[in-house]
Amino acid sequence: MDISELRDRVYSLPTLENKMADLQRELNRARNEVSALLRQYERERGDVEQLEKESLSSFLLKLTGRYKDKLEREQREEISAKLAYDRAAARLESLTRERDLLGQRIGELRADERRYQTELNNRRAELGRLTGQNADRYAQLEKQRKAIIAQITEIREAISAAARAKSTALSAQESLKSARGWATYDAFTRGGLSEISSTQRAVDFWFDNIFTDLSVRGQILDNAEQLERLLRGINATESALNAKLRECETELAANRRAEETLLVSM
């Protein structure tokens, strides 16, 4: 890797370090949310378990014909709490993986930064020959290059985020297609809470609590249409981002040629 490539990698470091700081704050909030939702789910699960026991209150509810309605209501609340917890836990896991990958990239770039600084120290004697108009032009190109590379880094991060969102939306779309046969709460809960699949949770991540309704077929159709619109929006965003990335890469190539011309003319 020559010094120009090394420098370009180093210039992306501040952007990624800022992203790491934001990501760490988001992780802290996500951990707090997971803890709170876990406590809520445990309370709701305890309510169901209490009802299912042969207790005096259960006996009285059965005598009055209110037991089934009460149990179903508590089960719906339990499932709602469990789905909310699962969504938050999945998001926390995703954020943790993203943090670890980003940390690895930053570590590599910091090593590159040390190599770059060493190389700059070795070349300072040569760079000292730049005076007057040449020195001003070099500083201008350096400032321009930093701005372009920071923009390229942000665009690439946005493209990656769009790709992740698209993948999740496509998975949710497939889940909705298979979910059109689910019509009632009883069909969904047959077998108990442990039968809630990861694909069902993926759909619920996009459309809050659709599985806690006693009649979900209409919602599934509506949400399928929303997903279609979402995917069209993501595709349009990807196209715009890729066009902007090509524009910035063209600017960066022109900047490098100008720098090379200046150094060769010394």
Per the CB < 8 A criterion, the answer to whether 171 and 196 are in contact is no
Task: Give the 3-state secondary structure of residue 128.
Answer: coil
Q: Please name the amino acid found at residue 86.
A: D
Residue 203, classified by CB atoms within 10 Å of its CB into exposed (0-12), middle (13-18) or buried (19+), is: buried
**Tokens representing 23?**
């990501």
Q: What pLDDT does 260 receive?
A: 72
User: Phi/psi zone of residue 191: left (φ > 0), alpha (ψ -120 to 50 degrees), beta?
Assistant: left
Per the CB < 8 A criterion, the answer to whether 165 and 31 are in contact is no
**Tokens representing 18?**
């800022």
Per the CB < 8 A criterion, the answer to whether 205 and 90 are in contact is yes
* Spatial separation of the C-alpha atoms in residues 235 and 195, rounded to whole Å: 34
CB atoms < 10 A from the CB of 226, how many?
Answer: 14
* Spatial separation of the C-alpha atoms in residues 79 and 75, rounded to whole Å: 6
Q: Is residue 117 predicted with pLDDT exceeding 90?
A: no
* Spatial separation of the C-alpha atoms in residues 91 and 99, rounded to whole Å: 12
| Sequence ranges of the domains in the chain | 1-128, 131-266
Distance between start and end Cα atoms, the chain: 23
Lowest model confidence (mean pLDDT) among 3-12, 68-77, 190-199? 190-199
What's the pTM value of the predicted model, to 2 decimals?
0.61
Lowest model confidence (mean pLDDT) among 68-72, 79-83, 98-102, 173-177? 173-177
At 133, phi and psi to the nearest 5?
-60, -40
Q: What pLDDT does 127 receive?
A: 60
**Tokens representing 96?**
């943790």
Quick: pLDDT tens for 159-216.
988 888 888 778 777 766 665 554 444 444 444 435 444 444 444 444 444 444 434 4
Lowest model confidence (mean pLDDT) among 6-10, 88-92, 93-97, 135-139? 135-139
Q: What pLDDT does 129 receive?
A: 64
Residues 6 or more apart in contact with residue 27 via CB below 8 angstroms: 92, 95, 96, 99
* Spatial separation of the C-alpha atoms in residues 17 and 11, rounded to whole Å: 11
Question: Which has the higher per-residue pLDDT, 20 or 183?
Answer: 20
